[in-house]
Structure 1
Amino acid sequence: MTLTSPESETVALTSELVSEPVRGYTHLRRQAPLVRVTLPGIETPVWLITRYQDARAVLSDTRFVRDQGKVPGLAQDGPSIAEQMIEAYGLPAEYRDYLGIMVLVDGAEHSRLRNLVTKSFTARRINALRPRLEQITRELIAPLAARREAELLEDVGYPLASTVICALIGIDEEDVPQMRTWIRAYASGDIDLVIPALRNMVEHSKDLIARRALAPRDDLVSAWITSGQGDPQALTETEMVALILLLINTGITPPALFIASAVLALLDHPRQLARLRAEPQLLERAVPELLRFTSPVPMGAPLYAVQDLEFAGMPVRKGEAVTSALLGANFDPKEYRAPEDLDITRDLGRGAGHLAFGHGAHYCIGAALARLEAEVALDQLLIQQPALRLAVAREELEYFDLPGEGRHLRGLPVDF
């Protein structure tokens, strides 16, 4: 099949293919720079980008926006792709104002919101967290090693990520386990669990904002409230709740899933794991390579063309959507030698060297924190615990699907 114009055949991407970097994308990458696809649960076709340089370019191309409403003169016919994704989850309309903040806005509005969050994610502040992260991880692993078994998502990944991000936000320590339960339910893909979890997180966030307004502390929520006093551009309660939900979701689920996926990838590649254990200094290079190899967020957010244009030599009409296969781009053989091989010595060059955290104005705010959490977790799980191994046969591992986001591990049982 050769795709040469917007009228060419559309390919249906299943959740399984979205998460298959070689089988899912190699054929598409060879067809054309842009391939017309539909994502699971989404009716509107999009242009899919699978080549690294094209994906990197579109993420900083000002001819594309995330907010479909910002496309000049576009008569919107039906819900946007982001709205269809929300509908695919079956979420009630009253909660949709809390979803998509910062992720689906552009320009000055995006900068306003992003600047209010980045103050807590500076390199200096994140680096200062290492001793605390190491302590938390040791305390999590010690009883697991003593009983010689664990489920890494439940026992390490989620507790580690949730403890750190909740502390930065301002969620009280005693409420962190409950928040972790809610976010796991929210990320489960089971609508019977998703809706109650979302409702509980919204109500808890409103209560947190009210309490911090009366008694501020050294946390993000207090800073939003304090800095906004007397400012007509201050965050509204709805915006604060939406930002809390965004930070909880992106600060817990992807890092937790990445830790589990990275452990599994290394267990799947025993020679690489043996070398890491023999040369622990390779950990700083191994984590970026594992991010490239697993890419916990496999698909980028949809972008809309603000005008008729040509991208990567192909026509894109005003209002048409494009999205980047971040995982697919991270396996582009024109960018990486033998990309299907996990190589913890791989030199990814300057910058991130991969697209697991995106690129451009929407580059993941928590990237440095996620890398640090992974370094600490992999050190203490695989280097300090050299006997760790899968507790079940590889084919017995269970996965779950999320609309447009691919397949994710449901759990990772291990023995020590």
Structure 2
Amino acid sequence: MKKCHIAYLACTAAVVGAGLGAAPPVPSHKTHVVHPGQSIQKAVDAAKPGDTVLVTAGTYRESVTVTTPGLTLRGVGPSTVIQPSAKKPASTKPSNAKKPASTKPSNAKKPSNAEKPSNAEKPAGSAKAADSCAKAGNGICVEGTKNRRLKDVTIASLKVTGFAKAGVSAVSTDRLTVRNVIASKNGVWGIAQERSLRGVFRWNTARANGDAGLFLANTITAEEGATDTKGAVVDHNRLEDNRIGITVRRLRNLTVERNHVTGNCAGLFVVGDENKPRAGALTVRDNRIERNNKYCPKTARLPFLQGSGIVLTGAEDTLVTRNTIRNNVGTSPLSGGIVLFKSMVGATSERNRISGNTLRGNSPADLVNTDTGKGNTFEGNTCRSSKPAGLC
């Protein structure tokens, strides 16, 4: 009887073990290594969700488009450099060559829909997409669609430089991470994102770009209300020698913290307007913003810029706190340490709270409020001068 009981337990253990063994295997993620002379785009196209494309040290002259969710595109630091193609590829189509006569039989059967490849069979990243990214003047494009955001992509540890538009451009993404990226000498933006949620931008350097070093917006192609980013984070970045260090345009619910912003024409812009919902409901804290005294001429939208620390224009319910803002000096209407200013369409800033900041050596004043909006408060700031008087 005892032997039967032992045999029964052994059988039961075997059945349970077999059941546990039937659990689906954990998918293995692959690392695709790219060496100088090889195509980053080909490796990206070959990658599956969760894979890593590791780009070794060297200079790569191409634009790259990422449309695969969960992909990591990573270099090995500043020695991984992505630049524009040295020259446009020559056309392989003869300009006036006579088309060969068709060899297709006149009664040949056309392929049925079932015989045609479906869109699902096409690679997510394609040479056509990369070409579109390049023609738009961008270096790395991370692209979702209007109806489906691209999720969980990471761009890390590389340098992208010399592109006509943006070094890194992201559209319709969710939980994009950009970290340890150097974006320099690009014609418009260093790193830019629009129509996206929950982005994380951390430990990047954006230097000598034509407009903003870091540009986050709802959209740049239409007039719309502000987008709720669901908690985007801009943290520990260095922005220097750009037109504007950081621009946050028509967005809500994000945090800009612990960045070093210096040597730009303007440090940080929070931009809103009369559209609904209004821009704002965000936090700007613990940043160091100093000597943003470069001169930039006026544009169709803004007067000339020089000596602006933090500017709030057409924003609401924004907390600006514990920032150190020093030696931003200029004579622009937007000059000063922390400036509240009506938007370019006359929308006022309302219910913004400026508290606990340390300001020194800013001109025309440490705190400047030329806005007529209601409910803006200045409290607990360490400063010496304000316009109007009494804000310090």
Q: Which TM bucket (shorter chain)?
A: under 0.3
Q: Which has the larger radius of gyration?
A: 2
TM-score by length of 2: 0.21
Decide which structure has greater strand share: 2
Indicate the structure with greater helix content: 1
- Greater relative contact order: 1 or 2 (C-alpha under 8 angstroms, separation 6 or more)? 1
Could you tell me the TM-score, scaled by structure 1's length? Answer: 0.20
